[in-house]
Amino acid sequence: MKQRILEVEHLRTEFHLRSANVAAVDDVSLTIDQGECVGLVGESGCGKSTTGLSIMRLLPRSGHVTAGRVLLDGRDLVPLSEAQMRQVRGREVSMIFQDPMTSLNPTMTIGAQVAEPLVIHFGSSKKAAMDRTLETLHLVGIPNPRERVDDYPHQLSGGLRQRVMIATALAAEPKLLIADEPTTALDVTIQAQILDLLDRLREELSMAVLLITHDIGVIAGRTDRVMVMYAGRMVESATTDELFAATRHPYAEALLQSIPQLTQDANARLPSIPGHPPDLSRLPPGCRFAPRCRYASPACIEEPPLEEAATGHLVACFHPVGVLSGAAAAWSAPGAPAGAPTSPPPVPASAALDASAALDASGSPARAGDPTPPPDATTRRLTLAAAAVLVEVDHLVKEYPVRGGGLRRRVGSVKAVSDVSFGIRRGETFGLVGESGCGKSTLGRMVAALERPTSGTVRLGGDELLRLRGADLRRRRRELQLMFQDPYASLDPRMRVGSILREPLVVQGVGDRRQQWETVASLLDEVGLSRRAIDLYPHEFSGGQRQRIGLARALTLNPRLVVADEPVSALDVSIQSQILNLMKALQRSHGLTYLVISHDLAVLRYLSDTIGVMYLGKMVELGAADDVYARPAHPYTHGLIQAIPVPDPSIEKAKRSAAVRGELPSAVNPPSGCRFRTRCPLAQEICAEEEPPLRGFGPGHVAACHFPLLSPSTDQQAGAVPVVSVASEPAPGAS
Amino acid sequence: MTGFVVRRFGQAVVVMIIVSMVIFGILHVLPGGLVRAQLGPRATAYAVRQLTVQEGLNKPIVVQYGIWAWHALQGRLGFSYKLNESVGALLSQYLPRDLLLVGTSLLLAIAIAVPLGLWQGYRRNRPDDHALSALMLVFYSMPTFLLGVILIVVLNIWVDVLPSTATNFGTGLGTDFRVLALPVFALCLGNVSYFSRYMRSSTVDNLLSDHVRTALAKGASPRRLLLRHVLRNSLTSTVTLIGLTLPYVLSGSLIIEALFNFPGMGLLFWNAAQDRDFPVLLGVVLVVTVATVVGNLLADLGYAALDPRIRYK
Amino acid sequence: MTTHDNPPPPSQELPAAGAATMATRPSAPSPQRSGERAATAPGAPRDSDVAAPASAWRLGLRTFTENHLATVGLVILVLLVLFSFVGPLLYHTNQVASSLISQNLPPSGSHLLGTSPEGRDELGRLMLGGQSTIEVGLGVGVLATLFGLVYGALSGFVGGVLDAVMMRVVDALLSIPYLFFVVLLAALARPNLLLVIVVLSAASWLSTARLVRGETLSLRTRDYVTASQGFGSRAHQVIARHITPNLLGVVVVNGTLKVADAILAFASIAYLGLGPPPPATNWGELLSAGINNLFDGYWWQLWPAGLLIVLTVLAVNVIGDGLSDVAEIRLQKR
């Protein structure tokens, strides 16, 4: 039996706010053994980070542990004095945080920061501390640590910074490491590398790890046991395999189902959890999940105790889910909700419903039944194949000058987008995927006519919008609209929702006052918001609701194309699926064409018909979504797919090393030849010398690689093609 | 870093050129022009004509500006007929005393305000922080000369420990440094209130930042936290502020010198304003502006030196 | 338990239960340090308390009054305005003629706060001085803010070479210590009250312009501005609908602080003897007269004027704090 490192018993943490005392963590118990990795998962605000901070006793001033014990090696940390606690922090328990940029001190060298715990806890001499620092930096995989110790954090890339952060936590060899969303701020390829590193270190140092994350895929692959939290409470706890194989709590079940998976049937509605988590200062009585739970019954007005459902499997629910498959079948039956009689949910009326429900009016297309139920995959494909091309992107290039020196001379340029060509058919959803910095957002802005290309053209319905001037351009702008990532920044905080939605109509002079207000009202119905929203300000809405407002605004002018830049990446999983469903439903009812930009291949795979993969300004692969996913031709695409954590322990644990190594090179001096070659496992000499041309790999499927994972097809134009790729062969050495 | 220094230096030069144009412009909107301003309303037409030619004031305005700027660069700022001395000579007498007064009070203000702000930030929203904040707000809301008067009343009239005027300081008649005390205190207190407010909020921001949380997670003591992690980061932004407040500090010195009769440029300027002695007025404005621009430049360079993100660019 | 036989979930959303409360973002003290923030800035009322869509004014007023210090400041300021403008109607004094026999009299029944060196009633003089002081403060606050707003917004929105030139001019003028600048201008002509306002505004608009420019630059790149341009708004529509309203908060707060600064600066130039000539007066000049008689012990000429200045500036400063709470309310709630 492994040694027990941490034992948290009935922890309760309260925040004293002026309006109320809220318990951010309520009666949470957990244990971690030596060498074990325990996952703590839940949506934002569920108390998972607060649990981590409570263990470290690093709560903000308004927060206090009011009950429970935190036993580290049998010693209770809660009653320790601040001075005693300082002896524990960094030496026995360490913690790493989400954003490595802000979590490192910008004015201290990384060497000094890694050495700091040694100086604090062991009073190490300069030399000893330096030796150990170099050793630790080497351990976390910093290349040439001796040359790097005197660097400042801003001189390192994001991945290296997080490695330094881990080094600072490990320098004093703690028994327990608390990792709070350690990879959330990182790209998916880097995320895989960092998680691999944490795994390796845990084994080498036989350290206990508490991994706090919102990403169930990460949990599946990296943890031995999992605790699921909801609204400050532990709702389920089991070994990772057991949890995924036999989920008991309805919340955990719904959470698992609402993630778009790579294997998802793109034509089925994504199951989603209605509403959003409760305000901790006004909790519903009894089970906190009851207002959103589809199994809720009058019994749920009592608080369900955390009971053992099977050996080592705890669950707090009166109606635990028995077999996952049965419930899942009920959920994902194609078109199931359509026209289904809307019986009131079995929630006791006295249960203070999540007030937000009041806003989500009953008129939403989702509940009233889709006017046009989703067609099956083949029909859709055939329809699309026959549709005309709406957007044509032809040899598009965008470079930003880089200035330097005292006189701000142009010293180079950032090659944001380099010679990209593709087409989008009417009614199609085109997904653009790639790591941050690959140029996908720049491309999106050029398609939306917000930025002028350095060269090349973008045509909308055959016309080049940016050729137009003044009033003509402004009039044509109504044909393409935008949806943004940040639901907080995309709505003017000083305008009421009614005015926000009406603004496009006023600007374009569409209809009279009354007609405009009618349009606004019907748009609110369509995106599933109450008409009362008209008089409210954006801050009175949740992130998901704001994203609905943003979508409604994009639709006011009945555009032909909507460019959506990371439309769901700022949202919690349960909310994310609501928005994805809504986007799909609106596409059908309005005949919209989408250009969706995302770093999340799983989201795109669910949403898109066609996927374009970008790497450092280049389109490296393009094809039908299923095809690209099932048969990636480019090693980068393959690597991206591999790097996405899948919420299935058997798949996830079988992957053993990060598929894409290294980090994105600078776009100022991109590598010669194939830009991916510096990170490619298959790269050979020719990759550095010659830029690979786009070659066909089946109908409408092209990729640019010298050593593709598939053998190229000789006949590119075979069969019904869901997309015409107007991509043509770039001249060798075009960059 | 070199790029930053070069660019910042270039900016300072541009600013100086614009300032010189503004001052030259004021020179020209004077009723009757510079000559009348110098000679007074009762000068004879002959004297006016003679001075006009002598100063090159009959030439085109661009040439005049060139001449004036060239002279100014050489330190030839005209002649005060009221004081019967060249402006350059006057300034060279008064300027050093100002450097002493303003420099001392500024250093003292920083020495008090930085630890004070750091402490207040650490103790934020506790009673001692509230009390100090309130006190600073009162200082902040007080005209500089009232602050001086209160100091005189307390330290000179009630408890006679310090002299209330500094009339002869550094003029050869006396170099009793005790006379400096009250003017320096009075000038310093206002700045303390300003700097410490800023330092406090900067400290609070830093204490709430992610990297301080990391330091706490390493087991850093409050002392280490404040000195190693917060002080330098808070100081970087405060240093820029000190540069930006230089014009206000110099403005304060004008008042304080008038109140304590301290023979510095402020007093020279004030007397010149009452006598409408324009060559002196403009010369002093030019000098204090140069001082400000140089001070700002130094502050920005200090900022760059403290912040590695700029140093290694 | 019939958990598995439950019908499929009827919809994504719960029905619109008759709850009268508004939706709210879960304002839980969520993971990162928002607990601390929530504790230090809980000024905003919770949505849930808002039964009906509250008007912006009412919401603002509530936030303002939650800042007790600001409320006290507002009350004090109102009292000071009443004292200065209504006071003379109740307490009649002759503020024109000077009187040799009643010079420097200590407080008594006929002169509640004694008399000035010219023999005028000191309390009446404080009322008169209050008028000009408050007028200058407000005048400069408004004038400097308006000019700075237009200048800064133009510079920030147009950008490019114009912006560079306009900002270098501001930099240059900002490097001239303001009091030297003001004294120089005041030396050109002995000012009346209007001229004082203009001269002080000339020194005061600069920092407003800089602030507004910075804000405009950051507002220009907000997503909602991009969206607005995306559906074809012209520059003036963007400025009117998005930039200006969002600037307003910062500008009003800044303007309030300008009022405080202007009162202090006015006192300073009055102390230097460059204010409007007698029989007009202001608190700075009264204070100055008191300082001249410092060693004679005529306390009634010194402290009341000093107290009134400090009280006014303090009140305006704390009101500024309260207003900045109001300006940030909607952003705070993020």
Contact between chains at C29 and A342 (C-beta distance less than 8 A): no
CA C159, chain centre distance (Å): 28
B309·A152 Cβ contact <8 A: yes
Which of C69, C173, C178, C180 to substitute to test the interface with B, most B CBs within 10 Å? C180
Alpha helix segments (H runs only) across A206-299: 216-222, 240-245, 250-257
Choose among B14, B254, B273: nearest Cβ to C168: B14
pLDDT value of residue A226: 93
Q: What gap in Å lies between CA A180 and CA A202, rounded to an integer? A: 16
ipTM of the complex: 0.86
Q: Does A326 touch chain C (CB under 8 A)?
A: yes
**Which residues in B lie closer than 8 A to residue A104 (C-beta atoms)?**
211, 214
Contact: B210, A117; criterion CB under 8 Å: no
Chain A residues closer than 8 Å to B306 by CB = 107
> Considering only CB atoms, which chain C residues are within 8 Å of A545?
23
User: What percent of chain C has pLDDT above 90?
Assistant: 18
Distance CA C50, CA B269 (A): 59
SS3 A476: helix
Identify the closest residue of chain B to C293 by CA–CA distance.
B149
**Least confident window among A232-246, A355-369, C277-291:** A355-369
Task: With CB atoms and an 8 Å threshold, state whether A117 touches B219.
Answer: yes
| AA identity, residue A472 | D
- Angle separating helix axes B2-29 and C160-175, nearest 10 degrees: 70
pLDDT of residue C51: 35
Alpha helices in C86-192 (DSSP H): 87-90, 122-158, 160-175, 178-188
Answer yes or no: is pLDDT of C30 > 50: no
- The whole-angstrom separation of Cα A41 and Cα A180 is 10
Report the amino acid identity of residue A205: L
Tokens of A649: 């322990």
* pLDDT score of A20 more than 80: no
**Pure H helices in A496-624:** 497-508, 513-526, 543-555, 573-590, 601-607
Determine the residue of chain C that is closest to A319 in CA distance: C3
Per-residue model confidence (pLDDT) at position A407: 61
Interface residues on A facing B, Cβ-Cβ cutoff 8 A:
56, 58, 83, 86-91, 94-95, 97, 99, 102-108, 116-117, 120-121, 152, 154-155, 165, 168-169, 404-408
Interstrand relation of A593-598 and A610-615 (parallel, antiparallel or unpaired) = unpaired
Exposure letters C87-104 (e unless 16+ CB within 10 A, then b)? bbeeeebebeebeeebeb
User: How confident is the model at residue C113, as a pLDDT?
Assistant: 77
Q: What is the pTM of this model?
A: 0.82
Which of C8, C27, C48 is facing A336, going by the closest CB pair? Answer: C8
- Tally of residues, chain C: 334
Q: Which residues contact A150 (CB under 8 A, 6 or more apart)?
A: A109, A111
Say if strands A307-310 and A455-460 run parallel, antiparallel, or are unpaired: unpaired
Q: If pLDDT is split at 50, 70 and 90, which confidence band does A301 have?
A: confident
CA dist list (Å): B66 to B20, B24, C203: 11, 10, 27
Q: How far apart are CA A366 and CA A373, in angstroms?
A: 10
Task: Quote the minimal CA–CA distance from C237 to chain B in Å.
Answer: 34
Tell me whether residue B29 is exposed, middle or buried, using C-beta atoms within 10 angstroms of its C-beta: 0 to 12, 13 to 18, 19 or more.
exposed
Scored b (16 or more CB within 10 A) or e, A61-79 reads bbbebebbbbbbeeeebbe
Which H or E element spans position A421?
strand A409-425
Residue A325: band (very low, low, confident or very high) from pLDDT cuts 50, 70, 90: very low
C→B contacts (Cβ < 8 Å), by residue, are 33, 36-37, 40, 168-169, 171-181, 183-184, 186-188, 260, 264, 267-268, 271-274, 284, 287-288, 291, 294-295, 302, 306, 309-310, 313-314, 317-318
C-alpha B7: how far from its chain's center? 23
> With an 8 Å Cβ cutoff, are B218 and A404 in contact?
no
Q: Which of A139-153, A596-610, C37-51 has the lowest mean pLDDT?
A: C37-51
Q: In chain C, what residues touch A61 (CB-CB under 8 Å)?
A: 36, 39
pLDDT for C69 beyond 90: no
pLDDT at C290: 85
Count of alpha carbons within 13 angstroms of residue B261, beta-carbon side? 10
Alpha carbon distance B72, B22 (integer Å): 14
- HSE-CB for A610 with a 13 A CA cutoff: 28
Q: What number is the average pLDDT over the span B188-216?
A: 89
C-chain residues within 8 Å CB-CB of B16?
A: 172
In this complex, is the C-beta atom of A381 within 8 Å of any C-beta atom belonging to chain C? no
Is C31 an 8 Å CB contact of chain A? Answer: yes
Minimal Cα–Cα distance from A21 to chain C, Å?
Answer: 10
pLDDT of C29 higher than 60? no
Contact A230, A45 (CB under 8 A): no
* A543 alpha-carbon distance from chain centroid: 14
Contact call for B216 and A91, based on CB within 8 A: no
**Closest to A5 in 3D by CA, of A110, A82, A77, A101:** A77
Grade residue B172 by pLDDT with cuts at 50, 70 and 90: low
Q: For residues C171 and B17, give the distance between their C-alpha atoms in angstroms, rounded to a whole number.
A: 11
B233 vs A168: CB contact, 8 Å cut-off?
Answer: no
State the average pLDDT for chain C.
Answer: 76
Put simply, whether B276 touches A (Cβ < 8 Å) is: no
- How does pLDDT run across A167-189, given as a tens digit for each residue? 999 988 899 999 999 988 888 88
List pLDDT tens digits, range A395-441. 999 998 887 665 667 778 888 898 999 999 998 999 999 888 888 98
Query: Which amino acid does the sequence have at B239?
Result: V
pLDDT at site A365:
40
For residue A228, give the 3-state DSSP assignment.
Answer: strand
Backbone φ and ψ for A314, nearest 5 degrees, come out as -100, 140
Cβ neighbours of residue A343 under 8 Å, at least 6 residues apart?
A: C7, C10
Q: Which two tokens stand for residue B93?
A: 């007498």
Helices B127-140 & B178-207 angle (0-180, nearest 10): 130
**Chain A residues touching B2 at Cβ < 8 A:** 406
Q: What is the pLDDT of residue A611?
A: 93
| Least confident residue range of B55-64, C36-45, C202-211, C242-251 | C36-45
Spatial CB neighbours of A314, under 8 Å, sequence gap ≥ 6: A234, A236, A237, A238, A306, A307, A308
Tell me the CA distances in angstroms from C290 to A134, B191, C91, C248, C271, one per residue in order: 70, 25, 22, 40, 10
Cα torsion A699, A700, A702, A708: sign: negative
- CA distance to partner chain A, nearest, from residue B293 (Å): 19
- Which residues numbered 384-443 in A keep a CB inside 8 Å of some CB on C? none
Q: What pLDDT was estimated at residue B173? A: 54
pLDDT at C26 over 70: no
Output phi, psi for B92, to 5 deg. Answer: -65, -20
The amino acid occupying position A167 is: A
Binary contact (B215, A104; C-beta < 8 A) = no
The overall average pLDDT reported for chain A is 83
Residue-wise pLDDT for B107-141, tens only, equals: 999 999 999 999 999 988 889 999 999 999 999 88
Question: Do A406 and B215 lie within an 8 Å CB cutoff?
Answer: no
Residue A283 near residue A27, CB atoms below 8 Å: no
Among C175, C271, C288, beta carbon nearest to B15 = C175
Kindly report the three-state secondary structure assignment for every residue of A503-538: HHHHHHCCCCHHHHHHHHHHHHHHCCCCHHHHHCCH
CB interface of A with C, residues 32-71, below 8 Å = 44-45, 47-50, 59-63
The one-character DSSP state at A357 is G
CA distance A692 to A705: 5
Of B19, B149, B255, the CB nearest to C172: B19
Q: What pLDDT is recorded for position A347?
A: 38
Q: Which of B5, B218, B306 sits opposite A90 (nearest CB)?
A: B218
pLDDT score for C314: 92
Instruction: Tell me which chain A residues have a C-beta less than 8 angstroms from the C-beta of C325.
Output: none
Contact A304, A318 (CB under 8 A): yes
Residue A286 Cα to chain centre, angstroms? 31
* CB contact (8 A) between residue C177 and residue B270: no
Q: CA-CA distance, A713 to A723, in Å (whole number)?
A: 17
Residues in chain C with CB shorter than 8 Å from the CB of A103 are none
Q: Which of B100-104, C58-62, C134-138 has the lowest mean pLDDT?
A: C58-62
Structural contact between residues C44 and C64, judged by C-beta atoms closer than 8 angstroms = no
Contact C233, C241 (CB under 8 A): yes
